[in-house]
Amino acid sequence: MAFFNQQKNTMERRHSFSITSFIRKHRKTKENEFPVYLRITVDGKRSEFATKITVDQQKWNAAKGRVNGTHETSKRLNLMIGNLEHRAQDIYNQYLLHGKIVTAEIIKNEITGFDHKQRMLLASIAEHVHDMKTSEGHGYSSGTIKNWQVTERHLKDFIKVSYNAPDITFKELDHRFVTEFEIFARREWQCKTNAILKHIQRLKKVVMMAVNKGWIDTDPFINFHRKQERTHRTFLTKEELERIERKEFQFERLERVRDVFIFSCYTGLAFVDIEKLTQDNLVTGIDGKKWIYTFRQKTDTKSNIPLLPAALKIIEKYYTANDNYTNKLLPLITNIKTNAYLKEIADMCDIKKNLTFHMARHTFATTITLSNGVPIETVSNMLGHTKITTTQIYAKVLENKVSNDMMVLERELSINNKDRTLSQTMNENR
């Protein structure tokens, strides 16, 4: 209520405000046209600036501050003038809404970008990253913030090498900057197309903020078009998964990493989602069996998963050990160490694939669920996907299932053919 009253009081503190468009008759151009100016007046004090629009004096309507006529040129010029006036009005309203001091000069500087000519790219990205950190857990995950920090470091490196400067202004951004950044990323960091596009996607977000705020006149991405490359989801086969499950380890660290990895194979939960699981996430479902109820950190979507016996067995294995000193459901170390130990496990189990923790999630989607006939809608729900098209990527790689299904079909057709042949033979004998 206090905030509402404060906002109401701010809105009540109105100023006198007016906008006028006019031409300067003593500044004729070579084309015999006159420049249009915008005059902003706040509390009796005014400020003027050239709009970079020129018009024929004979067509200018001083009373309306517009160009006469219905020709396309007149419509276009009037639209440009109107947009500037609307921009001035919007800035005035926003300053009042947030309780800021507003003057005619401030509004002019906002429109012309005078105060923003030295707005720097890296400084703005650092500011955006800082804002995300303050909102971590409320719209931004730690993983998202880390990805932005990687992009920030890459851009800093690129600008230092290519521009011999610690930072550049938004005004210096152009199409060449974007294309050269792409080339630099491929050459210096060996980034693949999809990784580069992620960096460019983050860069574009900050640039569009600058475009909307008038810090930059044109969008440098306007002619930049790249397509994502098709990705291949690597997963463990049933035989490879069983090999890891049956393996006995001498070292407890490897056994624990293996167990958590197998748990992910049977639940589809990502590392960061398992990391935050507590005993409160273990509930009795509608079927009377144990379920995991959680929300994916990446997308903040619900992910309710009935526990298969293999996953429940792992929870029971560590439940007693954890019960005395922590509420965590499973014992985890850092993601980096986990993936390093998985490399050891892969060697010991004679797995030739690049074994990473995220492969467990792929294995759940393919080998555990889709290959065994679980509907794709159910799999999508358990994975916490926001779009079923994301889940369909896994369905496309199941050549083994396609082969098995076709073998079943082949057997059915063969049986049907035999039945028809037998029937024909019996009829002939009659």
- Provide the CATH number for the domain around residue 276: 1.10.443.10
CB contact at 8 A, 260 and 361 = no
**130 and 179 fall within a common domain:** yes
Same domain, 271 and 192: no
Q: Is residue 219 part of a domain?
A: no
Nearest to 267 by CA among 387, 371, 143, 368: 368
- Ramachandran sector of residue 190 (left: φ over 0; alpha: ψ -120 to 50; beta: rest): left
Same domain, 265 and 384: yes
Q: Which residues contact 221 (CB under 8 A, 6 or more apart)?
A: 175, 178, 200, 204, 207
Q: Do residues 181 and 162 both lie within one domain?
A: yes
CB 210 within 8 A of CB 275: no
Range of the domain at 141: 121-212
Tell me, yes or no, whether 259 and 139 share the same domain. Answer: no
Give yes or no: residues 153 and 106 share one domain: no
Q: Which of 292, 261, 260 is nearest to 279 (CA)?
A: 292
Q: How confident is the model at residue 399 (pLDDT cuts 50, 70, 90)?
A: low
- pLDDT at position 20 is 93
Lowest mean pLDDT among 105-119, 121-135, 210-224, 337-351: 105-119
Are both 200 and 181 inside the same structural domain? yes
Does residue 225 belong to any structural domain of this protein? no
Checking DSSP bridges between strand 290-295 and strand 282-284, what pairing results, if any? Answer: antiparallel
Do 107 and 159 reside in the same domain of the chain?
Answer: no
Task: Specify whether 251 is located in the same domain as 390.
Answer: yes
* In a shared domain, residues 326 and 370: yes
Q: Do 354 and 247 belong together in one domain?
A: yes
Domain count, the chain: 4
- Output the pLDDT for position 421: 60
Flag whether 168 is in a domain. Answer: yes
What rounded mean pLDDT belongs to the chain?
Answer: 83
Going from the C-alpha of 417 to that of each of 324, 348, 408, 429, the distances in angstroms are: 65, 48, 14, 19
More confident residue, 110 or 311: 311
**What's at 329, amino acid-wise?**
L
Mean pLDDT of 152-178: 89
Q: Are residues 64 and 150 both part of a single domain?
A: no
Residue 405 has pLDDT above 80, yes or no: no
Residue 200's identity, in one-letter code, is I
Angstrom CA distances, 291 to 260, 302, 307, stand at 17, 13, 5
Among residues 112, 143, 172, which one ends one of the domains? 112
| 69-73, 258-262, 415-419, range with greatest mean pLDDT | 258-262
pLDDT tens-digit series, residues 182-204? 999 988 888 888 888 999 999 99
- Among 125-129, 241-245, 317-321, 322-326, the minimum mean pLDDT is found in 322-326
Q: What is the DSSP letter of 307?
A: P
Q: What pLDDT, on the 0 to 100 scale, is given for residue 396?
A: 62
Q: Which of 112, 132, 165 is the last residue of a domain?
A: 112
22 falls within a domain: yes
DSSP secondary structure letters along 160-211: HHHHSSS--BGGG--HHHHHHHHHHHHHHH---HHHHHHHHHHHHHHHHHHH
Spacing of C-alpha 107 from chain mean position: 34
pLDDT grade for 52, boundaries at 50, 70 and 90: confident
Residue 422 in any domain: the answer is yes
Does residue 423 fall inside a structural domain? yes
What pLDDT is stored for residue 4 in this prediction?
A: 32
Asked whether residue 224 is assigned to any structural domain, the reply reads no
Residue 11 has pLDDT above 70, yes or no: no
Burial class of 236 by CB neighbour count within 10 A (0 to 12, 13 to 18, 19+): buried
Q: Which of 2-16, 171-185, 325-339 has the highest mean pLDDT?
A: 171-185
